[in-house]
């Protein structure tokens, strides 16, 4: 596999780690970085002995691929510039703000024969990779993703910021078309929705509950999945997983046996970047494609529409109550 020349656009909380890993991965050579904060860009560049480029155009003229880790609102224009120049793109989630923007990037990637991979990093978490082969027909799924409040990511609501990880993951289990979405959410510390809950029913009969909060006192990243004769528990944060199965015990009675999953102690982001580089070198579809990113975004917007209806309905009820 030839070594690819790579750049990172946006080297804040996430982008700095993209730069760190590209500087060490055998399939890549980190060429340089771009960031709106000149001091931050220089600090990251100095750490890895690379250049700070004045803008995206200057960087993409000298690289084969980029990671884009800028605020979500800037995903579309930055990625469009890169793909139009024939540069392969790994873009942090969500792929874009709107579905029209996502579809535009997918079309550009196809037109210019570029890999477009979306950074749904939990797909690469060793815990989920250890149990994925045991998932065959989920009937009920619970997802909890809680974080303390911080300014990072608040340019979008909690559904696009946090819940979208779990929406993508559940869709990757192939539960079938969506039948119904019911959701509620409220803003707490930011102008947008900070805590949300959604119940999504699929035509297969699978039901998934999602809770996402960025106003929690603790951090949690968990998934529980129930299917015929087994229950899977995944903790993304500790990278631990277990499978509980119903089997016949020594006394010839059905018993529950727990099997701790064998996980690999590897950094999910490293696995994600490795997969991106491999997709480019081998000219094969990425593990998380632009279409995957768009599907998660479309479902996120269904959740947001349901939240909007919930808020509007309760506002009307409150108005009517005050009137009486």
- The model's pLDDT over 8-48, given as tens digits with 9 standing for 90+, comes to 999 999 999 999 999 999 999 999 999 999 999 999 999 99
Label residue 205 left, alpha or beta by phi (over 0 means left) and psi (-120 to 50 means alpha): left
Instruction: Provide the pLDDT for residue 318.
Output: 57
**What average pLDDT does the structure give for the chain?**
93
Reported pTM: 0.91
Helices and strands per DSSP (H, E), number in the chain: 10, 14
Ordered structural domains, the chain, with CATH: 4-120+269-288 (3.40.50.720), 123-267+301-306 (3.30.360.10)
pLDDT one-digit tens code per residue, 295-313: 999 999 999 999 988 666 6
Is residue 256 very low, low, confident or very high in pLDDT (cuts 50, 70, 90)? confident
Largest CA distance in the chain: 73
| Residue 215 confidence class, pLDDT cut points 50, 70, 90 | very high
What span, in angstroms and rounded, lies between the C-alpha atoms of 226 and 206? 10
Asked if the model's pLDDT at residue 317 lies above 60, the reply is no
pLDDT value for 284: 97
Provide the edge-to-edge strand list for the sheet that holds 254-260: 178-186, 195-202, 207-213, 140-146, 220-227, 230-235, 240-248, 254-260
Cβ atoms 125, 264 nearer than 8 A: no
Cα–Cα distance for residue pair 259/256, rounded to 1 Å = 10
Give the C-alpha separation, 268 to 227, whole Å.
26
Could you give the percent of the chain with pLDDT greater than 90?
83
The residue ranking higher by pLDDT, 218 or 249, is: 218
Q: Which of the four pLDDT bands, split at 50, 70 and 90, describes residue 150?
A: confident
pLDDT of 54 reads: 96
User: Cα separation of 271 and 251, whole Å?
Assistant: 44
DSSP string, 10-48: --STTHHHHHHHHTT-TTEEEEEEE-SSHHHHHHHHHHH
- Neighbour tally for 157: CB within 10 Å: 24
Which pLDDT score is estimated for 322?
A: 60
Identify the pLDDT of residue 321. Answer: 63
Segment 113-138 mean pLDDT: 96
Whether the predicted pLDDT of 166 surpasses 80: yes
pLDDT mean over 153-165: 87
């Amino acid at each position: 596999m030839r070594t690819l020349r790579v750049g990172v656009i946006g080297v804040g909380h996430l982008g700095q780690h993209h730069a760190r890993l590209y500087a060490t991965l055998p399939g890549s050579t980190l060429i340089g970085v771009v960031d709106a904060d000149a001091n931050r860009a220089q600090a990251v560049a100095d750490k890895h002995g690379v250049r700070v480029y004045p803008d995206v155009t200057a960087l993409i003229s000298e690289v084969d691929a980029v990671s884009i880790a800028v605020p979500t609102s800037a995903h579309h224009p930055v990625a469009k510039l890169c793909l139009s120049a024939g540069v392969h793109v790994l873009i942090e989630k969500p792929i874009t703000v709107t579905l029209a923007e996502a579809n535009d990037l997918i079309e550009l990637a196809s037109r210019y024969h570029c890999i477009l991979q979306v950074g749904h990093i939990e797909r690469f978490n060793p815990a989920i990779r250890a149990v994925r082969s045991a998932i065959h027909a989920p009937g009920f799924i619970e997802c909890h993703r809680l974080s303390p409040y911080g300014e990072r990511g608040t340019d979008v609501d909690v559904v696009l910021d946090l819940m979208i990880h779990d929406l993508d993951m559940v869709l990757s289990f192939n539960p079938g078309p969506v039948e119904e979405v019911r959701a509620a959410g409220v803003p707490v510390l930011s102008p947008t929705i900070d805590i949300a809950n959604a119940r999504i029913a699929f035509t297969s009969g699978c039901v998934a509950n999602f809770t996402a909060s960025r106003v929690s006192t603790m951090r949690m990243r968990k998934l529980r999945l129930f299917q015929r004769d087994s229950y899977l528990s995944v903790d993304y944060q500790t990278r631990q997983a277990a499978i509980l199965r119903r089997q016949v015990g020594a006394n010839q009675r059905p018993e529950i046996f727990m099997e701790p999953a064998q996980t690999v102690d590897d950094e999910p982001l490293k696995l994600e970047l490795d997969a991106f580089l491999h997709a480019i070198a081998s000219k094969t579809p990425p593990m998380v494609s632009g279409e995957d990113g768009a599907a998660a975004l479309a479902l996120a917007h269904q959740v947001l529409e349901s939240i909007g209806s919930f808020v509007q309905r309760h506002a009307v009820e409150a108005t009517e109550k005050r009137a009486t």
